[in-house]
Amino acid sequence: MQNSDPPIRVPFCRPDYGREERDAFEEAIAGGRLEGGGAQTKQCETLLEKNTGAERVLITPSCTAALEMTALALELGPGDEVIMPAFTFVSTANAFALRGAVPVFADIDPLTLNLDVAAARAAITPRTRAIMLVHYAGVGCEMEAFLALCAEHNLVLLEDAAQGIGAAWNGKALGSFGAMAAFSFHHTKNVTCGEGGALLVNAPNFVRPAEFIRDKGTDRADFLRGQVSKYEWRVLGSSYLLSELAAAVLLGQLKREEELTRARLKIWQIYEEHFGRLNSIRTPHIPTAARHNAHIYAIRFANQELRDACAKHMRSLGVIAAPHYVALHLTPAGQKYGRASGELPHTIDAAQTLLRLPLYSAMSADETALVIESLTSFLHSNGLDTDAITPAP
């Protein structure tokens, strides 16, 4: 079949690899040890510990792997339930379903698209063991309320901070609140090494189990530190170490985290100046306690037809804008392995109406202008916000 789409002029995302990443990569090769756990891995972990305040950070091959590690560390199994949003990536739920535990989906706040505190409270049963938050778009969840809810019901708080690097809630880094948290360094993320992630362990009692789990369930880390004379199988675990090659690229990116976030924030702000006051679309809501990291600029339309037509129109002009999650409780596996707590109307609305605009640190002024033009021309050709004055980019 022939593809009649015009060439892509503005991709959805484009990683920004520079000198630091290349130098670290060469250094890793020259060192001759490319298995995980080497010098580059340790530097990444130390930097992340310093930046987040986490007790211990373990870098992993993906955020998915880090989420699976949380389920293993909690020794969850059949009969256990974990409350989470359904407006999230499959890995958030898969991690627990793999252990035989049940993901219980609760609705989101319609403004932030993060788990709603009252909906989470209503989903608690005697089988609930943990609440897994997702900080959508790097905008923090209501942390004080969730910490209090978990304390009240003796639940473990976990954070899927896949999109949260560099962001904070009331001045405290996302990923540093829960007993454990997970970052993603996938291709689409603010800081990336292609595929990668990190487990942040904040509760000291999970540090040793997490080290065992990452190293195939063994105490090999103790052995490498000279603390035991041989290593052995201690707990259920798997191969969750990131290769030194990827760790090297990650180290370069982590050193540039502030620069990369600053550049993204500039583009995010330009979008906000153009679209923030329009009536025909909803734009991001940032609570005053949140310091976000410009991971996503998502707009929402009145209905799915308009959203899909807009994505098509932008694609016809070479601009890639992307919807996001499919509501997990409506997917075949979500229905088989999970359970919805209520109807989740805000989740369904977000899944149907949300569109993410292209956003990356190295976006040029021309690319930004093209995104703005393509969205504005769609709105105008549909008779929407025709009287809005659009400032020049």
Ligand X SMILES: Cc1ncc(COP(=O)(O)O)c(C=O)c1O
Write out the residues near ligand X by the rule CB under 6 A.
Answer: 62-64, 88-89, 91-92, 134, 160, 162-163, 184, 186, 197
Q: Rank residues 249 and 384 by Cβ distance to ligand X and give the closer one.
A: 249
Least distance in angstroms from the C-beta of 198 to ligand X: 9
Q: How far apart are CA 315 and CA 258, in angstroms?
A: 31
Q: Rank residues 156 and 198 by Cβ distance to ligand X and give the closer one.
A: 198
3-state secondary structure string across the chain: CCCCCCCCCECCCCCCCCHHHHHHHHHHHHHCCCCCCCHHHHHHHHHHHHHHCCCEEEEECCHHHHHHHHHHHCCCCCCCEEEEECCCCHHHHHHHHCCCCEEEEECECCCCCCECHHHHHHCCCCCEEEEEEECHHHCCCCHHHHHHHHHHHCCEEEEECCCCCCCEECCEECCCCCCEEEEECCCCCCCCCCCCEEEEECCHHHHHHHHHHHECCECHHHHHCCCCCCCCECCCCCECCCCHHHHHHHHHHHHCHHHHHHHHHHHHHHHHHHHCCCCCCECCCCCCCEECCCCCCEEECCCHHHHHHHHHHHHHCCECCECCCCCHHHCHHHHHHCEECCCCHHHHHHHHHEEECCCCCCCCHHHHHHHHHHHHHHHHHCCCCCCCCCCCC
Q: Rank residues 52 and 184 by Cβ distance to ligand X and give the closer one.
A: 184
Least distance in angstroms from the C-beta of 320 to ligand X: 16
Q: Rank residues 155 and 162 by Cβ distance to ligand X and give the closer one.
A: 162
Q: Rank residues 60 and 361 by Cβ distance to ligand X and give the closer one.
A: 60
- Tokens representing 245 are 């090659």
Least distance in angstroms from the C-beta of 88 to ligand X: 5
**Residue 250 phi, psi dihedral angles, 5° rounding:** -60, -40
Q: Rank residues 92 and 261 by Cβ distance to ligand X and give the closer one.
A: 92
Least distance in angstroms from the C-beta of 219 to ligand X: 26
Q: Rank residues 71 and 270 by Cβ distance to ligand X and give the closer one.
A: 71
Q: Rank residues 193 and 251 by Cβ distance to ligand X and give the closer one.
A: 193
Least distance in angstroms from the C-beta of 173 to ligand X: 17
Least distance in angstroms from the C-beta of 359 to ligand X: 14
Least distance in angstroms from the C-beta of 369 to ligand X: 28
Least distance in angstroms from the C-beta of 89 to ligand X: 3
